[in-house]
Amino acid sequence: MVRRGTRTAGGRRTARTDVAGSARRLRIGRLLLVLALVLTGTKLILVQGFDAQDLSAAAAQQRFTNDAIPAERGSFTDRSGNVLAFSSEARQLYATPTRLADEQDKAHAEDPTEPTSDQYKREIARFIAKQLGNRVAEQDVLAALFSNATYTTIGPLIEPALARTITEKYPQIGEEYRATREYPAGKNGANVLGGARWSQDAQKIEGRLGLESSMDKLLAGTDGKKVADTAMGSDLVIPGTERELEPAVPGSDVELTLDSDLQYMVQNKLSDYAKKAGARSAGAVVLDSHTGEVYALANDKSFDPNSPSWGPDGLGNAVVTNPFEPGSVNKVITAAGAIEDGLMRPETVMQVPGSIKVADRTVSDAWSHGTVPLTFTGVLGKSSNVGTLMAAQRLGEDRFDDLVHKFGLGQTTGIGLPGESAGSVPPREDWSGSTFANLPIGQGLSMTVLQMASMYQAIANDGVRVPPRVISAQTGPDGVRVERPQPEGVRVVNPQTANTVKDMLRAVVQEEPQQGTGKDAALEGYQISGKTGTAQQIDPTCKCYSNSTYWITFAGMVPADNPRFVVGLMLDAPKSGTPESKSAAPLFHDIADYLTLRYRIPLSPTPAPAQVLQVE
């Protein structure tokens, strides 16, 4: 007899064995199903719960693109409100040629009355060329539309209204925001303003030079935000789908102390004068004698910031970045110190020889002479090196060094213009015996044209040097105007000393009875004070002072009896043989003449009294 559940002679399982195996498989299958359900449920919880925000953002990112809305850049104006730089909106037309072709071919297939993609592109090209006139050729538009590019720009930047006319008629053409920077005055004041350009990377105007660069953050404002639909599988914006999420906040407007009309006149006069003198370069500064405000700051070379390409010539601002040895204009330090300390009076007679030895150096005057009885006023009026060094020796090295720094040399003025140089003054501890043979006559130290003008501003302003400034005020996006505070003044000498030196400097422009070195600076009807300067440049071949290459300088005040303006001028290496190469005094005359007319400065009540330069 055969039992159930046992194997038969043929090797087959019994019915009991088959039932047990089936039950085991069923349990395993149920376990796997439960495990799969648990895993699926866990994944669902993660997707719908913990990962929902990230996944939603990722999905949105595939459908949308977030972009910045560039803030309107602030403007620059001069002291009278004349606009020197401003931004305007423009638009750049663009297309997605491959997408346009696919969509139009699909539309034509569904409705044969619709034009083919080729026909449609030609229609668009004709319309754009007609709207833009001579600013773009129809062939150029066709070339863009028939390219195989996924994205291409069309034509130049155009006005927003014109772009809207085109995109409303042909929504397949998109428009991108652009900002352009405009400079109505062109080269006028460009060395101060600098320049700004559209940055494709930043998608906004960025300052590149001058104040546009150093004040970029203030001018730029705060960008807004916008979102736009993007084509499937790409980051290309679908034209017409942009939406604003957060508005942009405009940048601040900046008011400068410059007088754009005066700046134009000074810049052109300076450039013309430098050319006639054959000078390598030239600079000019006009300061308000009481506030230190810069009314004009000019270089002989400039550039047009509206030009598509800049420089390299004329891009810098040498008036504040390039120091030079000033020569005799520096003699005002010795004069002020000697008067202040009671060592000299204007009428003090000095027996001045033709040369003087200081340590191992012998210094001579610019003209040959034996011992002559010059008044201290005459030492300035005739620009005697020897007489100046005699007075400097009475003043002493330490006192002279103290005055050098009070006059602002060896330190930046803080005007706020990029790249400003402090010039150079040898540290007191490094002076040798012959150092004091150079410094009082303006050799062995250097300054910028701005620093030179600032020195004379101190004399014109009763002995108080007010650091020059070129930024007057700023107006924020809320429309509130905030004036920049006037810098605190530095007392250099007392008022009586300053007035005495100012009066002595009238001898420089005197013609009769005894002539000064700057008679061509004289202006009929006005008392003028000033100082000429000639400084030898270093000859690179011998590393010594050249006898043929000079810096020519002039610093003066108008009018001397009640100073309103101070003018500083410098010519770098003028060629000999031309009248303009010998002195900057005639240029001062022309600028002073313009100042008196423009600002209606009253005539001096009396002519300048005759100064005694040399006693008989």
Separation between Cα atoms, residue 205 and residue 604, nearest integer Å: 49
DSSP 287: E
Task: List the beta bridge partners of residue 351.
Answer: 373
Question: Distance (Å, rounded) from C-alpha 154 to C-alpha 163?
Answer: 11
Strand partners for 481: 475
CA angle at 592 for the pair 573 and 408, rounded to the nearest 5°: 60
Residue 209 β-bridge partners: 195
Cα→Cα distances 415→407, 418, 563, Å? 15, 9, 22
CA 289 to chain centre: 24
Backbone angles phi, psi at 516, to 5 degrees: -90, 180
Rounded Cα gap, residues 214 and 471, in angstroms: 12
CB atoms within 10 A of CB 101: 19
End-to-end CA distance of the chain: 167
According to DSSP, the residues that pair with 544 across neighbouring strands are: 539
Q: Which amino acid is at 557?
A: M
Q: Which tokens is 66 given?
A: 């977030």
Options 302, 328, 384, 583, the catalytic residue? 328
Amino acid at 390: M
CA distance 374 to 353: 10
Residue 328 a catalytic site member: yes
With beta carbons less than 8 A apart as the criterion, state whether 256 and 471 touch.
Answer: yes
Instruction: Determine the residue type at 443.
Output: Q
Structure-block tokens of residue 543: 């590393």
Catalytic positions, written as ranges: 328
